[in-house]
Amino acid sequence: MNILITGGCGFLGARLARTLLAGGPLALAGGAAQPISRVTLADRVAPPADLQADARVQFVPGDLYEQAANGTLPLADTHAVFHLAAAVSGECEADFDLGMRSNLDTTRALLDACRRAGHAPVFVFSSSVAVFGDSPEQRLPAVIEDTTLPTPQNSYGIQKFIGEQLVADFTRKGFVQGRNVRLMTVSVRPGRPNAAASSFLSGMLREPLAGERARCPVAPETAVALASPGNTVAGIVRAATASAAEWGARTAVNLPALTTTVREMADALERIAGKDATGLIDWEPDAAIAKIVTSWPSRIHAARAEALGLKADASFDAILRDYVRENPQAVKLPVAAKD
């Protein structure tokens, strides 16, 4: 079995690649399990050293739109495509053309390339909870269901929702076996901050644990819907393995979310790393970021995902302890032992 991951050298793409390579045979779309022969990582940056060292990993560097349009992606013998590459929310608001090219034009070009390949690969599209947005003209319900009408309030959300519809129609036509999954905000992300409006939901924990100051641009009572990196990747993989009958409608599946508040996240940090950690958080409001983040829903009823065996993270303390365990080199402050 051959797999393509776009954005495959980024945080989620690399974690997905490691999960697939370590997981043994994979059963795509309810079919028979087959061993993974090749994982192609398409990205602008090189893979981490451990993935470079795996003989099953192939790296295709370059611009994804150009790769999809000129036929340089190895789609003729690829059985599953995980399309994770995207410009993030803050980038899309700052640069409209970048967002349209990266998130809309590139998704269309990749789907067209899959169509030309002629064998309907499984196509997992990473959409976002940002397809839902609250506005005075159209209020969101208190709880988001799988059938809730998307009402994006920023360019990123619009582009992701259009991508969902393209995947659904290419699936209807038999060009791909599409699986649209709406990812929640992923926390805690290792590494450095990115341009996403939600980046602080990792930075306000990651940087203090490393002994560095961090800025929180929203009010402490701001409610958010989060998922750990591990839970997010589990949802992406399950989307690929679900049979058509298990998956059901061509519309997107909301992945499960833990509802918490920014204050509760800071409280978890203090329980685990003490007041020295929370003392490094600068509570400095940013109206532009707050407008985006507070328009997103915080309560998700993920019935379809739950029917696939997926569950939300148990607590934010558990998410934060997983980050500490998985990234010991990034934690400089003393951490309390688990009770």
CB 227 within 8 Å of CB 257: yes
Q: Which of 310, 312, 285 is nearest to 298 (CA)?
A: 312
Catalytic, out of 82, 125, 156, 175: 156
What is the b/e burial string over 53-84, where b = at least 16 CB atoms within 10 angstroms of the residue's CB? Answer: eeebbbbbeeebbebbbeeebebeebbbbbbb
The token duo for 112 is 């067209």
Give catalytic status of residue 156 as yes or no.
Answer: yes
User: How many Å apart are CA 181 and CA 235, to the nearest integer?
Assistant: 8
Question: Which residue type sits at 327?
Answer: N
Per the structure block, which two tokens stand in for 295? 């328009």
Q: What are the counts of helices (DSSP H) followed by strands (DSSP E) for the chain?
A: 15, 12
Residue 47, Cβ neighbours under 10 Å: how many?
Answer: 21
Q: Give the whole-angstrom CA distance, residue 327 versus residue 335.
A: 13
Helix (H) or strand (E) holding 183: strand 177-183
| Angle between helical axes of 200-209 and 316-326 (0-180°, round to 10) | 50
Give yes or no for a cis peptide into 237 (omega within 30° of 0). Answer: no
Residue with tokens 């790296």: 59
Catalytic residues: 156
